[in-house]
A and B are shown apart, each in its own frame.
Chain A
Amino acid sequence: MPHERSRPEWQLDSRVSGHCQIVIAGDWIARSGPLPAFPQSAIASVPAGESLGIDAGGLGDWDSGLIAFVWDARRMAASSGLSLDVSALPAAAGRLLALLPDVVGPQAPPRRPEFRPLRWVGGAALGSLGAIGGATALLFATVGGAARAGVGRARLRRADLFDNIRDAGPQALVIVGVVNFLVGAILAFVGAVQLRKFAADMYVANLVGLAVVREMAAVMTAIVMAGRTGGAYAARIATMEGNEEIDALTVIGIPVSDYVVLPAVLALVLTMPFLYLFGCLVGMLGGFAVSIGMLNITGAGYLTQTLDAIAFSQFVFGFLKSIAFALLIGVASCRIGLQAGRSAADVGQAATRAVVLGIVGVIAMDAIFAVFADVAGI
């Protein structure tokens, strides 16, 4: 509105005995600023048995701010046994007021978390057991699906599998390469500083080679894939859940484990070991680059030393570890996606949980493998 707004004002006029009036004046536009509120005390000053009306002679522009004020007044009047006559208001305002109830129904009280530590611990424990159980069941269903796919009887769509493999494999090469190259380079750098003190420059190759092949390539690759692919799986499946796509699959009897989970997990299991081998190669290349640049060592010397240091069994061990990591990331992230709620916030939460669980799970599993390898003497 182009004209200057006048201040919204009101007062209670009880000069005429037997008839009290709420005098409203000015422009009552909620958007233009704070409006007066009708106080409970105002009604208390109206003598019992008097009629209560409104004088809207000075009312200018109005919107729902005025309605809120009059509605408050009417409800407070009603609670003191008075009735407010709103017929003096503009007809449109009267229509809106007619839509509003005199009593606002009981509102569900907002739920507040209670302080129940035992319940939290118990709930968390049961929840974790349930999650492990659910993930194991999903793992078995997926392995069963894979077995059926092996004999050509599962409803695994090849196109889905190839899409997933392309996403988890070739498209991940660059980031897996960069991470492993840098890790190899950092190992060489740290090792070189120490080993040079003992004139053992040569052994940087052993250090980098062993560390990369045994631990770093498998773990770093799995962490990258947990962040990149695990998070994406969880978000995708949670979104499908929200769109009722999962329900639609369930209803027509397509097992979710075959159609959604199997291609995702299978793609990770098929690509991760090769990403691991690629990571080993690139990691050692990183160490090689730093060693050649920094140390008194020849390329041929580095290569010979590396080949001497690493037994073939180390690769096999890393290869198997990668498969286990892939299973863990794939099944856990799909399970988290399937368990997620239906809102946008739930999708974000599912992706976060999948990434966190993937990374922590990979590192914990790697520790178990280390103990196992120590006992087995690998």
Chain B
Amino acid sequence: MADAAPVLLSVRGVTLAFGAKIILHDLSFDVRRGSIFAIMGGSGCGKSTVLRAMIGLLRPRAGTIAVDGEDFWSAAPSRRAELGRGCGVLFQSAALWSGLSVAGNVALPLQMFTSLDAVAIRRLVVLKLALVELSEAIDLAPAELSGGMRKRAGLARALALDPAILFLDEPSAGLDPIISRRLDDLILNLRDGLGATIVLVSHELASLFAIADDGVFLDADSRTAIAHGAPAALRDSCADPQVRAFMRRERPDVVRS
């Protein structure tokens, strides 16, 4: 299904750097509409950095990132902001605004970017929080939430504007297996229900196999992508033994081709 869908996000020849330090170079991949795309790789390979470039927080040193055929980074700032509003982002630490309640966090994007009145906004907030099973926490402060609740509140905020693209940075890191599994189901249901395209950064293998249908594998040594494809396919039939080993949680020297 994902192969037939048109490309929504296209990363072409991207080089990312902090000052003189090159994080990744010559990175290319395509994210198809309606797919769940995983950015994989070991710790420190630049997964989150790619995500930062895709959500408009880090300008690539070279290359293009196109959203629906439109080059994001060469667009005017106002157009970039508009494209950004079509994206929902769940940050690794959830990054809830601590001065607002959970409801306030979800409501703020709606207050800023729609003409809805307070009652209509409240209805949507209640809906988004019910979708992530957080109805009972609606009026709590972020500081009163547990880690899993914070992630789900962050997800509800990311869903506030019904984004076409959802970026999730380590959605299940730090969650127990059951909550993590439920979050996976939720992500699948949201993709199918909202028709959103999901880009996620993760190295939780179980979750990757369960939900991702496409992906790219980054390597810290060569500082670029070394494999493309669905996580399960990479595990079973990737030509690169290093990638196979990673996806099977084996030590690289144990793997034989």
Contacts and interface: CB of A to CB of B under 8 A. Distances in A.
Interface of A: 30-31, 33-35, 37, 63-65, 67-68, 71-72, 92-93, 95-96, 98-101, 104-110, 341-346
Nearest to B129: A104
B194 interface: yes
A68 B127 contact: yes
Interface of B: 97-99, 110, 113-117, 119-120, 123-124, 126-128, 130-131, 135-143, 159, 161-162, 186, 189-190, 192-195
Contacts of A344: 97-99
A104 B194 CA distance: 21
A308 to B, nearest CB: 58
A95 B136 contact: no
Contacts of A346: 98
B162 A104 contact: no
7 contacts: A65-B124, A68-B127, A95-B189, A100-B130, A104-B126, A108-B137, A108-B140
Contact of B161 (A31, A72, A92, A99): A31
Given A30-B116, A71-B127, A99-B193, 16 more contacts: A30-B114, A30-B124, A34-B115, A34-B116, A37-B120, A65-B124, A67-B127, A68-B123, A68-B124, A92-B194, A92-B195, A100-B127, A108-B136, A108-B140, A341-B143, A343-B99
A344 B120 CA distance: 29
A343 B142 contact: yes
Contacts of A65: 124
Given A93-B193, A105-B136, A343-B143, A33 B127 contact: no
A107 B139 contact: yes
Nearest to A36: B120
Contacts of A105: 135-136
B135 A101 contact: yes
A364 B99 CA distance: 33
B136 A106 contact: yes
Contacts of A72: 123
